[in-house]
């Protein structure tokens, strides 16, 4: 299956439902992006709203083949769940997303690590600071240039993996 466009939704903070996302072409070029600030609430719901906004933008751009990468494993699992009860808090937004996706020729959704989603994170941060309900960017906004350049140059960031903390001071490593 070949995909022409990549969608990267991103939620920002648990206490503030900020989201942002970017749709890119095959070469990673900016097609369209958005920043969204609906206020406070549930993080997973913010991720799903970001997904819904971006699928809508993709359809409006005439995109038929879409690969969705989300750093929210919960959102990916919910989207792949065909047995989600209609009593779920996420049922309506997931149903809307799936209905929108039916109009595409091909699509798939997969998980990516947070570090691979830096453009979407910058857009979500912009949503938080601007407090605009919805801001759509036909051209890449200036704050995104560095992130797009790093992606173009295949700039890699180390994966941040949490380590277990020890309560025993004797087990801590000495600095080199």
User: pLDDT tens string for the chain (176 positions)?
Assistant: 334 455 555 554 445 677 888 888 887 889 999 988 877 777 788 788 888 998 999 999 999 999 888 888 898 999 999 999 999 999 999 999 999 999 999 999 988 776 667 788 888 888 888 888 899 999 999 999 988 887 776 655 555 555 555 444 433 333 33
How many domains does the chain contain in total? 1
- Whether residue 46 lies inside any domain: the answer is yes
Phi, psi dihedral angles at 72 (to 5 degrees): -100, 100
- Whether residue 35 lies inside any domain: the answer is yes
Q: Checking phi first, is residue 136 left (phi over 0); if not, alpha (psi -120 to 50) or beta?
A: beta
141 and 22 in contact (C-beta within 8 Å)? no
Domain that holds residue 72: 5-171
Residues in contact with 118: Cβ distance below 8 Å, sequence separation at least 6, in sequence order: 147, 150, 151, 157
CATH of residue 147's domain is 3.30.420.10
Which residues, listed in sequence order, are joined to residue 111 by a DSSP beta bridge? 70
**In terms of Cα–Cα distance, which of 86, 78, 67 is closest to 7?**
67
């Amino acid at each position: 299956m070949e995909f022409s466009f990549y969608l990267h939704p991103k939620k920002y903070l648990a206490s503030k439902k900020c989201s942002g996302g970017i749709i890119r072409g095959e070469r990673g070029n900016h097609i369209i992006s958005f920043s969204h600030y609906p206020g406070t609430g549930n993080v997973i719901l913010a991720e799903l709203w970001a997904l819904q906004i971006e699928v809508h933008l993709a359809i409006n751009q005439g995109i038929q083949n879409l690969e969705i990468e989300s750093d929210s494993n919960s959102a990916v699992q919910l989207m792949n769940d065909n047995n989600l009860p209609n009593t779920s808090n996420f049922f309506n937004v997931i149903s809307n997303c799936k209905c929108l996706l039916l109009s595409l020729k091909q699509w798939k959704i997969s998980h990516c690590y947070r570090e691979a989603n830096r453009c979407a994170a910058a857009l979500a941060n912009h949503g938080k600071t601007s407090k605009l309900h919805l801001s759509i960017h036909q051209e890449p906004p200036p704050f995104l240039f560095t992130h797009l350049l790093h992606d173009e140059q295949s700039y890699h960031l180390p994966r941040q993996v949490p380590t277990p903390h020890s309560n025993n001071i004797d087990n801590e490593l000495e600095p080199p």
